[in-house]
Structure 1
Amino acid sequence: MGRRPQLTGRAAVLAVVVCAIAMSLAYPVREYIAQRRSITELTEQRAELLAKIKELDERRGQLQDPAYIKRQARERLFYCEPGQKCYVVMDDTPAQGEDAAPQKPVAVKPPWYQTLWESVEAADTGKGRKAGGG
C-alpha cells in the first residue's frame, strides 16, 4: 500500500505565505484599477470641456463680428437698416386663388383669464339659490 502524501509543515507555511502575499496585493491592485478608471473618466471630461471651450470661443468670435450681429438682428429681431424696405410675412400659408376652396375658420381658445372670469361669474349667479337644489 502506498503512502498518501500528507501536508507537511513546509507546505503549510508555503500556503500561508502565498495567501498572505495574495491578500496584501489585492487592495493595491483594486486601488490601481479604480485610479485608472478615474483617470479615464477625467480624460473624457477634459476632452468634453475643451470642446465646449472651443465652441464658446467660436461663439465669442461670432458675437464680435458686426456683420454677424446685423444678420442676427435682421433674422431674429426683424431689424431693418435705414432706407431699406423690409417685409415680414405673418402667415406662411400660400395665398388662395379664386378656385381654391375656402378654409374652415379655426376655433380660437379663449385666454385662461377669460375662462377663469367666466367661471367666477357663473358661480356668482348661482349664489342666490338655496343649498337644497330647488
Structure 2
Amino acid sequence: MAVKDRDRFSTATRIRIIGEQTAARVYRSQTRRQARRSRLTGRAALLAMVLCSLVVALAYPIRQYVAQRAEIADLREEQARTRQRVEDLRDLKARWQDDAYAEQQIRLRLHYVMPGETGFTVVDPHVAAPSRTDVGAADRPWYRNVWDGVDKADAAAHRQ
C-alpha cells in the first residue's frame, strides 16, 4: 500500500488527476454552453422566422397604404388646381358680364369699329409682304373668310 500512497501523492499523479478534473470541468462547461447555444439558436431561428413572416405579411398592405397616400396627395393637388381654374373662369364670366369689357374684346378680337371710326391694319415692315395667292385663311380677317365661303357656296349652286 505504500507504493500506492507514494503514487497517489506523486507530482506526476497529482498533475494527471488535476488535468483529468480540469478536462472534465471544461467538457461539462462546453456541454452546457452547447446546450444553451442550441436552445438559443432554435429560439433565434424561430424569432427570425416569425419576424420574416410578419415582414412578408405586412409588406403588401404597407405598400398599398403608401401608394394610396400618394394618390390622395395627387388628387388633393388636382382638386386645388381645379378649384383655382373654376375661380378663374368665374372671374372671366364676371368680366364678360361688363359691357365695356365685352366691347373691348369684340373690337380687339373681331376688328370691329364703331360707326364713324376708321379701321386700320398695321403691317409689320420687317415681315415680307405675302402675295395675294399666299394669304391663307388664318392670315385674313374672319369676315373675309366668311365672305369667301359664301361666294364659293353661291358659285357651286349656280353650276348645278
After TM superposition, the score normalised by the length of structure 1 is 0.59
Correspondence 1:56 to 2:56: no
Task: Check the 8 A contact 2:113/2:119 in 1, yes or no.
Answer: no
Q: CA 1:108/1:78 → structure 2, altered by over 3 Å: closer, same or farther? A: closer
Match of 1:87 among 91, 98, 119: 119
Cα RMSD after superposing both structures: 3.1
Partner-residue secondary structure (3-state), 1:81 = coil
- Structure holding more helix per residue: 2
2:109 is equivalent to residue 76 of structure 1? yes
Q: Unpaired segments of 5 or more residues in structure 1? A: 95-103, 112-134
Structure 1 residues 40-55: aligned runs within 5 Å: 40-55=73-88
| Number of residue pairs aligned between Structure 1 and Structure 2 | 101
| Offset at residue 12 of structure 1 (A) | 2.4
1:38 aligns with 2:71: yes
Return the match for 1:24 from 39, 45, 57: 57
Partner in structure 1 of residue 8 of structure 2: none
* 1:25 alignment partner, SS class: helix
Structure of greater Rg: 2
Tell me the CA shift for residue 107 of structure 1.
6.0
Give the whole-Å Cα distance in 2 for the aligned partners of 1:49 and 1:37.
18
Q: Determine what percentage of the aligned residue pairs are the same residue.
A: 36
In the alignment, the residues of structure 1 paired with residue 58 and residue 81 of structure 2 have an alpha-carbon distance, to the nearest angstrom, of 35
CA offsets 1:64-92 (integer angstroms, 9 cap, x no match): 1100111112222222333x322213534
The 1:105/1:50 distance shift into structure 2, 3 A limit, reads closer
Distance 1:60 1:107, change over 3 A: closer
User: Could you say which structure has the greater relative contact order, defined with CA pairs below 8 angstroms and 6 or more residues apart?
Assistant: 2
Distance 2:124 2:42 in 1: 94
